[in-house]
Every structure is written in C-alpha cells, then in structure tokens.
Amino acid sequence: MKLSHLAFVLVPVLGLAELGAHVYFARRPPNEAQWREAAPRITSLRKPGDLVVVGPQWAEPAARMVLGDSMMPVRDVARPDESRYETALEISIAGQRSKYTRTWRELEKHSFGKFVVRRLQNPGYQKVSYDFVDHLNGVDASALLYDTQEHPCSWSDHAQLYAGGLGGPPTFPSTRFVCPAPMHVFAGVTVVEDQDYLPRRCIMMHAPDKGHIEARFRDVPLGNEIRGHSGMRMIVERELAGAPIVLEVFVDGQKIGQDVHLDGEWWKPWRFPLGAFAGKRGEVAFRVSSPRESQRQMCWEADTR
C-alpha cells in the first residue's frame, strides 16, 4: 500500500482515537485536588434549605470530605427520604445524575471543570411542621419503661458512648434517655444502615424483655397526619429470624395507628391520619414492644405535616 493511501486510513483512525481519549478523560471522576478547587464555587451556589446530593452516589464521600458538615450535615445525608426538601443542589460528575433528584425541575445549571451543578425544585415537596427526631431531648420529650407499672427514664448528655463496630449494634449515643434496664434499652438518636447500606437517622428504642418502651413529646403542633419510617440495622434484619416489632402511636392517650415491622420489610414508610386532632396541639407518644426482645432494635423517625 502506498503511503498516500495509508494516510487516508490513519487519519480517521487517529481522529477516532483522539475522540475516544477525550471522552475517556472527560468522564474520569475528579481527583481530590479538583474537588477542593471546586469546593468554594459549589459552596457559593447553595442556598438555605438546599439538600446537597451527588451523582453518582458512590462519589458522595468525596464531596462530604471537601464540603464538610455545614454543606452536608448528618441530618441531610441520613435523611428518611427527599419529600421534606423543597430544593436541592445536585453535584454531577462523569456525566451522572443523582437518582434521588433527576426528575426534579431545573432552576439553575452551572458547568465548570469536571462538575455540573444544578439547583432543582422538588415537585413532590411537603412541608414538615414538627420533626420528632429533632425534638428528642430532655425539654421537649420524656421516656419510660412499662412492665406492670411505669418506670421513668432519665435524660443524660453524658451517658456511656458505645459503638458496636463491625457486626455489632448501632452506636449508643451519649445524649439519650437512660432507662432502668440493660444498657441497650434506651431512647436516643442514632444512625442505622438500610438495605442499600444508606444511612438513616432515627430514634432507637430497643424492645424490652417485657412490656414496652415509650417516648412522649409535649405540646406538638399537629398537621393532617403523622408520617414516618421504621426499620432496623440491615445486618440484623437480613437474617429474617426475629420476632415482629410493634410501634404504636398515640395522641393525647388515644391510639391513632400502629406499624408492625417484620424482618425483610427494611426501611418502611407509614402514615397515620390525625382525624379530629388535625390542626391542634397535643402530646404524642410512640410505644415499642415485641413478643421476643432479642435483637429487636427498632429505629424509627416521624414528623407531622
């Protein structure tokens, strides 16, 4: 083959190779230095109330490392779902979108370096009136154990911190209601992993050996319903060997609903209409029990809307 003929073959081949290399390097994820360089601009684009998400999901730890807790607090990272957020700031790399917000309406779009940042509006937004997880403290709430009589649990901000490690229980927080029972029976805010290994911030209330454990919240502004999720640590629930866990909800002593959690139901949503209590204020109680207490680490979250 003559060299002139060979050139006609090589030129398009080299062009395709260059195009392929461009696509490859353009889609490579940013390194730490590139994340840190982009961080100030990303931070400047966030507005109060924005949920910060990353596409793809596996890149979220890199974003959290450089953006910090002020941009991505545990309350947002370990959220129960996305319905409570009116807007979000989506950080997209490698041409990927977040599966949680890809259907939201785009308000703004900014491209720089390896990043595309969008502000998005949630079409299914629902305003939260009262978040029970936020109000589990010694001022707004109380807790008790009941066997044949009530035994108050005391609020502590310096209880023994315990982290179970690999295969162990969720972290027992230092701020929690300490009950007259074994250490694992308490009411406190912790984080568990769901069936997809996503973090979920919730109130842990381990079912006692007999009777129930209860958390009560004072003077709660009530919307039209109480909505929530219940679950357990995935590594326990996946065994599918535990007894049912019953979560009962009361308003001013009247039962408005219950969720029976079975192993294998994972992070499960539920909702209870408030009926005649809608729009009023009242005491709301959450009661956890199980016919067999072994490894019954109920963790739940709820709000009023």
According to DSSP, the residues that pair with 18 across neighbouring strands are none
Is the pLDDT at 8 greater than 90, yes or no? no
Q: Indicate whether 115 and 151 sit together in one domain.
A: no
pLDDT in tens, 26-82: 468 999 999 999 999 999 999 999 999 999 999 999 999 999 999 999 999 999 999
Q: Indicate whether 137 and 286 sit together in one domain.
A: yes
Q: Indicate whether 142 and 170 sit together in one domain.
A: yes
> Does residue 18 lie in a domain region?
no
Is the pLDDT at 25 greater than 50, yes or no? no
Is the pLDDT at 142 greater than 50, yes or no? yes
> Does residue 59 lie in a domain region?
yes
Pick the last residue of a domain from 66, 90, 121: 121
Pick the last residue of a domain from 72, 99, 121: 121
pLDDT in tens, 181-236: 999 999 999 999 999 999 999 999 999 999 999 999 999 999 999 999 999 988 88
Residue 13: the pLDDT is 46
> Does residue 299 lie in a domain region?
yes
Q: Indicate whether 259 and 293 sit together in one domain.
A: yes
> Does residue 83 lie in a domain region?
yes
Q: Indicate whether 284 and 142 sit together in one domain.
A: yes
Chain-centroid distance, C-alpha 210: 30
Residue 78: the pLDDT is 98
Residue 21: the pLDDT is 39
Contact indicator for 128, 304 with CB cutoff of 8 Å: yes
Is the pLDDT at 166 greater than 60, yes or no? yes
Residue the block writes with tokens 């842990």: 204
Q: Indicate whether 135 and 191 sit together in one domain.
A: yes
Q: Indicate whether 112 and 134 sit together in one domain.
A: no
| Domain around 76 | 32-121
* Predicted TM-score (pTM) of this structure: 0.88
Residue 292: the pLDDT is 86
Backbone angles phi, psi at 269, to 5 degrees: -80, 150
CA–CA gap between residue 296 and residue 290 (Å, rounded):
7
- E-only strand ranges, the chain: 51-55, 87-93, 105-112, 115-121, 130-131, 141-146, 150-156, 176-178, 186-193, 199-206, 212-221, 225-231, 245-251, 254-261, 268-273, 281-289, 297-304
> What is the average pLDDT score of the chain?
91
> What 3-state DSSP class applies to 168?
coil
Q: Indicate whether 87 and 213 sit together in one domain.
A: no
Q: Indicate whether 268 and 169 sit together in one domain.
A: yes
Is the pLDDT at 96 greater than 70, yes or no? yes
Q: Indicate whether 278 and 185 sit together in one domain.
A: yes
DSSP readout, 252-300?
TTEEEEEEEE-TT--SEEEEEE-GGGTTSEEEEEEEEE-SS-TT-EEEE
Contact indicator for 130, 304 with CB cutoff of 8 Å: yes
Cβ neighbours around 220 below 10 Å, total: 23
Confidence of residue 157 (pLDDT cuts 50, 70, 90): very high
